[in-house]
Amino acid sequence: MKINLKSLTEKEISAFIKDIGQPVYRARQIIKWLYERYAISFEEMTDLPKHLRELLDKNAYISSLKLMKREISMDGTQKFLFGLEDGEAVESVLIPDDDRLTLCISSQAGCAMRCRFCVTGSLGLKRDLMAYEIADQIITAGRLMAKKTIAEPPLALSEGSGDIKITNIVLMGMGEPLHNFAQVLEALSRMINLLGFSKRRITLSTAGIAPKIIELAKQAPRINLAVSLNATTDEIRNRLMPVNKKYPLKDLISVCRKFPLERARRITFEYILLGGVNDSKDDAQRLVHLLRGIRAKVNLIPFNKVTAGEKMEFRQSSENDIAVFQGILRNAGIPAFIRKSKGSDISAACGQLKAIYS
Ligand code: SF4
């Protein structure tokens, strides 16, 4: 049976190359093709001798994600639905922002966390992604963005300026990354060692699996941490995010306090503002209190019924409530930013494209 080269670690690729009677330096060449030049066939590996390409083709293959759907927003945000080998599908979203091009990737097909404001949560968990399927979202999006393979030029991204490179990665798409810990760790290692991303440009977002946050700091030091918080009392958070029943605010905030941060780095707390649920002055004051002593920044994300789906039970906060909420945080010295939904003219909320196409 042919082996999927992307399912192998660097060491395993070297062992495989030795097994088929080739010098180990060939492994380095192949790894470069896979992760730096995004090759999806041995034929593309033009600096390998023809007999080696044939030998590889006989014994191995290179998995790749199938582009099932691509939506491009007027603001330049692009959403991809990628098909996996077994027929499951995951979403990735490419978000241009000033000089950054951030790719938001999935770590699971579906999600078991069932956050009430999330479309993916309502789909349930299908399965964990393998490390190579997580990294492949970067490779496939990178390939799509490379000038030579652009089928439809992206709007709002400079045309004719050569290849367009992804600069930042956030694990904030479908799934809870800390629920698929081992594969996510291997994927992080590939992002850093093979795809060339600096740790400072990678952010992992969690719904709050408290014990694994400490484990993450040990196993993948200096990766940025984002916590999807969304409430300031256990009562409301239990309602919005069932994970809170297992890891209540006290435990979550306590591990955040212990999370080691490099100089000038902060933990990002994501806070979806839901009208009449978690957007009062009291909530803002409680949030200030909760985050006291943590080097934190807060992203306030006004709930958007259009991107989240009409079926959602929540409503948008008023402009005034959002401004007051932000003001309370800022007055307390907490950097707080209002993040308007990107790609509001496409199915840009997590899980939406999958929900439409499943
Ligand atoms: S918000 Fe994240 S953790 Fe919660 S259900 Fe959606 S994908 Fe899962």
pLDDT at position 149 over 50: no
Q: Which amino acid is at 167?
A: T
Shared domain for 46 and 71, answered yes or no, is no
pLDDT tens digits for 242-252? 999 999 999 99
Centre of ligand 1 from the C-alpha of residue 194, in Å: 28
Least confident range from 115-129, 199-213, 234-248, 334-348: namely 334-348
How many other CB atoms are there within 10 angstroms of residue 217's CB atom? 17
Over the chain, what is the mean pLDDT? 90
- Closest by CA to 11, choosing from 215, 217, 194, 197, is 194
Rounding to the nearest 10 degrees, give the CA dihedral for residues 105, 107, 111, 113.
-100
Q: Which residue has the higher pLDDT, 342 or 267?
A: 267
- State the closest ligand 1 atom to the C-alpha of 174, by its place in the atom list counted from 1: 7
Shared domain for 216 and 230, answered yes or no, is yes
Q: Which amino acid is at 12?
A: E
H or E element at residue 328:
helix 319-331
Q: What is the CATH number of the domain that holds 56?
A: 1.10.150.530
pTM of the full structure: 0.91
The pick from 106, 118, 206 for probing ligand 1's pocket by mutation, whose C-beta has the most ligand atoms within 8 angstroms, reads 118
Shared domain for 300 and 221, answered yes or no, is yes
Number of compact structural domains in the chain: 2
CA distance 358 to 345: 20
130-134: which pairs have CB atoms within 8 A and are 24 or more residues apart?
A: 130/7, 130/183, 131/183, 131/184, 131/186, 131/187, 131/190, 132/4, 132/6, 132/7, 132/63, 132/187, 132/190, 133/63, 133/65, 133/84, 133/90, 134/105, 134/106, 134/107, 134/171, 134/183, 134/184, 134/187
Pocket of ligand 1 (CB under 6 A): 111, 113-115, 118, 120-121, 174-176, 207, 228, 350
Shared domain for 81 and 123, answered yes or no, is yes
Which sequence positions are flagged as catalytic? 91, 350
Shared domain for 151 and 52, answered yes or no, is no
Shared domain for 158 and 181, answered yes or no, is yes
**Domain carrying residue 139:** 66-357
pLDDT tens digits for 220-273? 999 999 999 999 999 999 999 999 999 999 999 999 999 999 999 999 999 999
* Rounded average pLDDT over 279-307: 93
Edge-to-edge strand order for the sheet containing 202-206?
66-72, 78-83, 89-97, 100-105, 168-171, 202-206, 224-228, 267-273, 296-302, 336-338
pLDDT tens digits for 198-207? 999 999 999 9
Centre of ligand 1 from the C-alpha of residue 267, in Å: 18
pLDDT at position 354 over 60: no
Q: What is the CATH number of the domain that holds 321?
A: 3.20.20.70
Shared domain for 158 and 23, answered yes or no, is no
Shared domain for 52 and 71, answered yes or no, is no
pLDDT range class, residue 329, cuts 50, 70, 90: very high
* Rounded average pLDDT over 189-213: 97
Among residues 17, 45, 61, which one ends one of the domains? 61
Q: Which residues pair with 72 in a beta bridge?
A: 78
Shared domain for 36 and 133, answered yes or no, is no
Q: Give pLDDT, residue 312.
A: 78
